[in-house]
Structure 1
Amino acid sequence: TSFPTESNATMTETIALFGATGGTGSEILAAALAKDYKVRVMVRSPSKIPEEIKGNANLTVVEGDFSKLEAVKETVQGADYVISAINGPMGKPKKFPVGELVTFVKELVGILKETPSVKVLLHQSGALVPDGNGGTTMTMKFMRRTIATYIIGIGPNLDENEKITQYLESVKGDVAFKTIVTRPGAGGLAPGDGEKTLVASDKPSTSAQKFKDVAAFTLEAIKDESLYGTYPYVV
């Protein structure tokens, strides 16, 4: 007879994941299944789910997009934790769907208010985005106004995440579940093997980070009560 280890989920724990085919999201999906979580994902194109995990008995794939609220409801049904790893097109400011992600998060919160199983909603933002009270650093402000906006072209992504963060700050006293907004390093995120154990901090990092490492941090963060209601940098 085998028993789950402390690092693994119990059979009753379920994660609803949005953004499961993105850089961090795909790593969260793989890592959560490896930890024996049940995972429910909503994706526009189920074909983007890797073949090697499609047949996993703990994976439920719901076809839909941000406008399909019934698909969103189906995805979060029975979930203990909800992780939002959503983002718009990176480096394509003219093609960014302004307002779409904020609208989705607002609708998601409304649905979660009617989903009593949910304990935590974690949204992944970024180090260049202020916390829910507008807190940031001079370095992050400078990088956002210069490199991020005019060279990398992610100004609209950052603006959208700032609005999401402000919204989650405004509702956290009105919802039964806890919220966390994580802010990974300003040096960018990249694929590849994990290199280090990332931790929460009140100071940002300008180092590049691996999607896999951020995913591992995310799965620890949803259970870390000290992070509930906060906006930790990930370093």
Structure 2
Amino acid sequence: MNLLIFGATGGTGCELVKQALAQGHIVTAFARNPDKLDIQHSNLKVTKGDVTDVAAVEQAVKGQDAVFSALGSSSLKKNPALVEGVRNIVQMMEKHGVPRFIYESSLGVGESRKRVNFLVRFIIIPLVLRNAIADHEEKEQIIKQSQLDWVIVRPAGLTNGSHTKDYKHGESIQYGAKISRADVADFMLKQVSENTYLHKTPGVSY
């Protein structure tokens, strides 16, 4: 399939690129700083651009079979640019008839907050992750209101651990503390061809 990955130079994004190529897909990696993506492959196209640039997003979206977002921010402040970026992605996908959108969100968003431990629910999220969670909630609403075949994936705390393929997933899981970015990418890639979680918000965790 032709797969487009936004946030391709981030931790999960890099794993999505590597695993998608290993599975034989044709991958377009969209990044502000392509030099950060140290991957070379005959089926890989690296596109430089910013998600706030509608024309760049539209050009990347054309001809794709599915789109992934692993967009993230290293800051704990709100990031309106990423919200605008997700809106641009959704609009261009609808315009060009690209149906499948898999979005990496976070544990603690929406009803998933009820299924995390006390420390995360009442201390880490309100005091540390408040802005990031608020951004994810805004972006999730944009996606949910779209006409796309979307899956919103809510991982536990991200690590750089190994690709185990051994994790739990579902809308009602009790979250563990962590999940490797490699395993999040593994789960996200499965959503390209599976409909179990279509229009749903599964969590993924150890």
Q: 2:15 aligns with which of 9, 27, 39?
A: 27
Contact 2:32 2:50 in 1 (8 A): yes
Of 83, 86, 101, the match for 2:82 = 101
Q: What is the TM-score when the length of structure 2 is the normalising length?
A: 0.90
Q: Which has the higher strand share?
A: 2
State the structure with more CA Rg. 1
| SS of residue in 2 equivalent to 1:179 | strand
- Residue 166 of structure 1, CA deviation: 1.9
Task: Calculate the TM-score normalised by the size of structure 1.
Answer: 0.80
SS at match of 2:152: strand
Contact 1:27 1:211 (C-alpha < 8 Å) held by counterparts: yes
CA drift at 1:144: 4.1
How many residues are matched? 203
Q: Does 1:163 align with 2:138?
A: yes
Extract unaligned runs of 5+ from structure 2.
Answer: none
CA contact (8 A) 2:70 2:103 kept: yes
Q: Which residue of structure 2 aligns with residue 184 of structure 1?
A: 155
Q: Which residue of 1 aligns with 2:44?
A: 59
Per-residue Cα deviation, 1:112-150 (whole angstroms, up to 9, x for no partner): 11112x2310111011111xxxx3353539524412343
Counterpart of 1:6 in structure 2 is none
Q: Mark the runs of 5 or more structure 1 residues left unpaired by the alignment.
A: 1-12
- Aligned match of 2:103: 123
> Structure 2: how far apart are the matches of 1:216 and 1:139?
22
For 1:198-213, list aligned pairs within 5 A: 198-201=167-170, 202-213=172-183
Q: Secondary structure at the match of 1:21?
A: coil
CA distance in 1, matches of 2:49, 2:129: 25
For residues 165 and 94 of structure 2, the distance between their equivalents in structure 1, rounded to whole angstroms, comes to 36
Quote the Cα distance in structure 2 between the aligned partners of 1:139 and 1:113. Answer: 33
Q: Which residue type is aligned with residue 40 of structure 1?
A: T
CA–CA distance in 2 between the matches of 1:154 and 1:64? Answer: 27
CA contact (8 A) 1:16 1:83 kept: yes
How far apart are 1:222 and its partner, in Å? 2.1
- When the two chains are superposed, the root-mean-square deviation of aligned CA atoms in Å is 1.8
Q: CA deviation at 1:65?
A: 0.9
Per-residue deviation, 1:167? 2.1
Identity score, percent: 27
Distance 1:97 1:65, change over 3 A: farther
Distance 1:98 1:126 in 2: 15
Q: Are 2:159 and 1:194 aligned?
A: no
Higher mean C-alpha deviation, range 223-232 or range 199-208: 199-208
User: Would you say the 8 A contact 1:204–1:234 is kept in 2?
Assistant: no
Counterpart of 2:150, as a letter, is T
* Moved beyond 6 Å, runs of 4+: none
Q: Is this contact kept in 1: 2:5–2:68, CA < 8 A?
A: yes
